[in-house]
Amino acid sequence: MKLPERDSYEEIFADFRWRIPDDFNIATAVCDDWAAREPDRIALIEWRAQGDGERWTYGEIRRAANRLAGGLRNLGTRAGDRVAIILPQCAQAALAHIAIYKNGAIAVPLARLFAPEALQYRLANAGVGSVITNREGLEKVRSIRDRLPELEHIIVTETAPGQDVVAFEELLAEGDDDFEPASTGPETPALIIFTSGTTGPPKGALHAHRVLAGHIPGVQVHHEFLPQPGDVGWTPADWAWAGGLLNVLLPCLQLGVPVVYGGLDRFDPELAFRLMADVRVTCAFIPPTALRLMKTVENPASRFDLHLRTIGSGGESLGQDTYDWAHRELGVTVNEFYGQTECNLVLSSFAARGVTKAGAIGRPVPGHRVALINDEGGICEPGERGQVAIARPDPVMFVEYWGDEAATKAKFAGDWMLTGDQCIVDEDGYFCFVGRDDDIINSAGYRVGPGEIEDHLVSHPAVKLAAAVGKPDPLKTEIVKAYVVLTDGMAPSPELLDEVRAHVKGRLAANIYPREIEVVDEIPLTTTGKVIRRVFRDKARAEAENA
């Protein structure tokens, strides 16, 4: 699965072949194989702003994950069962993933910033039977447990009172150092990551064990033949996000590259530079919003002892200013890449082999067939705008939307998976992002569907109708702006709008809520009753341009 070392991108692309074993299991690939060969090799490095953090070897991870896997099995976890992980970057999160895969169960990572109602939908939709979380997550899950009939166990990584919880450490104590992993293959279900669709509620993208193998060439492209001697990987991205989990944590562990975690509950650009210097990070995945924040730090190269070899960035458009800044101030050419939760990391820049252009996503990653499709279903010519599409079969591609056959079918046109993202391919084969043909809002790399935001807006008694759109923002790419019609008798006021904003924030997520709310007299609808968001999207863009 590794990239062939050739002198040109074209040779690498032509010579690459998928070779995924018939008995592939993520846990074996990221843990057991290394533990058998080099048990003392460092796998995880905790960074703390004050004092040294923990270091985990592959041998230690294998023993702890085996114990946790045995504890989960004692609780009744079996192949195909769904186990949710609601944790920040921490060793317990990594152990949970490995233990779940060892059982042949399905991991469901969920962002710790989600409010209870957002968690409830996702836990219920996936039919989660067990949750692994900390005290913060415990309180949220407790508040909705009576609405989750399939949830049997809440496993808590921190000391917490109550008869309704299982202590993480007790599960480890009950398990055994040896555990025989379940027999799985590339097509065995392994992971559900929730993503927002163009309409309706979020959908759970089901991935098989092959998804890890599918990510390896893309990771090696934007980190330029990872691993190299001394490589250390890090990302500020949440491991519940496909970018943090599948672009960094699991691929780095499979490739024998130590992964740094911890120390940044909230992103701080100064602390980010300090972390990278302290632990000698060489390969970082840093989303564009975080890189823009890091631009505010003066003279980083002279103030911090950095050892950066590569920076990969994706999830939103990077922009030429940030591209130029990284090259000038950090001495690194940022390799921008592209993908979706359903089919991640299929386009990338590759500066080490001359594939780099400011403002462009890059070219297809070896092993993936990516094209632009026009409205007639044909392949676009250079310079023609079209929708990004990925050909199946592809090991990085999702299996289905969990429990939603109709949505799964609608995602494909023949053997092409449609992304809904519009690009132009230039004469050199570079994909240049233009926009989306859906209503997804992309705020700081988090893609959120307007329907979910609108549902929470109208759940407030003062709001009769709502439309949510993305308003261009120089730092976050887009912020959420809401247009609302108030219920009869309600008068607009700053206090009321603050109340509505807090109402949504408390039900969705602390980082995804309407930063701006504007009261309007009416919201235009289609003949079938759907909000015509285009009107407000154009309005918000005009406001941003005239600001």
Q: What is the pLDDT of residues 239-294, one digit of tens each?
A: 999 999 999 999 999 999 999 999 988 889 999 999 999 999 999 999 888 898 89
Mean pLDDT of 91-111: 98
Strand spans (E) along 232-325: 233-234, 259-261, 283-285, 310-313
pLDDT-derived band of residue 498, with 50, 70 and 90 as boundaries?
very high
pLDDT-derived band of residue 529, with 50, 70 and 90 as boundaries?
low
**What string of DSSP letters covers 333-398?**
--EEEEEETTEEEEEE-BGGGTB--TT--BEEPTT--EEEE-TTSPBPPTT-EEEEEEESS-TTB-
CB contact at 8 A, 94 and 204: no
> Which distant-in-sequence residues (6+ apart) come within 8 Å of 390 by Cβ?
343, 346, 368, 369, 370, 397, 416, 417, 419
Higher pLDDT, 433 or 473: 473
Mean pLDDT of 375-401: 94
The CA dihedral of 362, 364, 370, 371, to the nearest 10 degrees, is: 50
Residue 214, CA distances (Å) to 120, 126, 209, 368, 431 in order: 30, 24, 9, 9, 20
Least confident of 261-270, 340-349, 400-409: 261-270
pLDDT at 438 over 80: no
CATH architecture observed for domain 1-21+209-367: 3-Layer(aba) Sandwich (3.40)
- Quote the mean pLDDT of the chain: 93
**Closest Cα partner for 84 from 94, 72, 96, 76?**
96
> Which distant-in-sequence residues (6+ apart) come within 8 Å of 435 by Cβ?
421, 422
pLDDT at 198 over 50: no
Position 532 scores a pLDDT of 79
pLDDT at 199 over 70: no
Mean pLDDT of 459-481: 91
Beta bridge partners of 164: none
Report the distance separating Cα 367 and Cα 144, nearest Å. Answer: 43
pLDDT-derived band of residue 530, with 50, 70 and 90 as boundaries?
low
Residue 344, CA distances (Å) to 364, 402, 432, 503 in order: 12, 17, 17, 33
What's at 497, amino acid-wise?
L
CATH architecture observed for domain 441-546: 2-Layer Sandwich (3.30)
Instruction: Tell me if domain 1-21+209-367 and domain 25-208 are identical in fold.
Output: yes
CATH of domain 25-208: 3.40.50.12780
Position 528 scores a pLDDT of 43
Alpha helices in 459-493 (DSSP H): none
Element (H, E) at 535: helix 533-546
Mean pLDDT of 345-361: 95
| Ramachandran region, residue 362 (left: φ > 0; alpha: ψ -120 to 50; beta: rest) | left
Position 421 scores a pLDDT of 87
**Exposed, middle or buried, 432 (CB in 10 Å: 0-12/13-18/19+)?**
middle
Give me the residue spans of the domains in the chain. Answer: 1-21+209-367, 25-208, 441-546
User: For 26-49, what is the HEC assignment?
Assistant: HHHHHHHHHHHHCCCCEEEEEECC
Report the distance separating Cα 72 and Cα 27, nearest Å. Answer: 15
Least confident of 13-17, 341-345, 435-439: 435-439
Report the distance separating Cα 386 and Cα 420, nearest Å. Answer: 9
CA angle 9-14-19, nearest 5°? 110
DSSP helix/strand/coil, 441 = strand
- CA 21 to chain CA mean position, Å: 26
Report the distance separating Cα 198 and Cα 293, nearest Å. Answer: 29
pLDDT at 342 over 50: yes
Place of tokens 């261009």: 472
Beta strand 477-486 pairing with 516-519:
parallel
pLDDT-derived band of residue 459, with 50, 70 and 90 as boundaries?
confident
Count Cβ neighbours within 10 Å for each residue of 206-225 and write b for 16 or more, e otherwise. Answer: bbbbbbbbbbbbbbbbbbbb
What one-character DSSP code corresponds to residue 493? -
What one-character DSSP code corresponds to residue 442? E
Both tokens of residue 158?
């921190």
Both tokens of residue 63?
């023993």
Position 507 scores a pLDDT of 86
Least confident of 22-31, 75-84, 137-146, 436-445: 436-445
Position 448 scores a pLDDT of 76
pLDDT in tens, 42-70: 999 999 999 889 999 999 999 999 999 99
Least confident of 347-356, 426-435, 529-538: 529-538
pLDDT-derived band of residue 124, with 50, 70 and 90 as boundaries?
very high
Higher pLDDT, 449 or 168: 168
**Exposed, middle or buried, 230 (CB in 10 Å: 0-12/13-18/19+)?**
exposed
Both tokens of residue 113?
């910033």
Report the distance separating Cα 323 and Cα 358, nearest Å. Answer: 6
Sheet of 516-519: strand order equals 463-473, 477-486, 516-519
Mean pLDDT of 111-116: 91
Position 436 scores a pLDDT of 67
Position 527 scores a pLDDT of 44
pLDDT at 526 over 70: no
Q: In this structure, how many other beta carbons lie within 10 angstroms of the beta carbon of residue 402?
A: 22
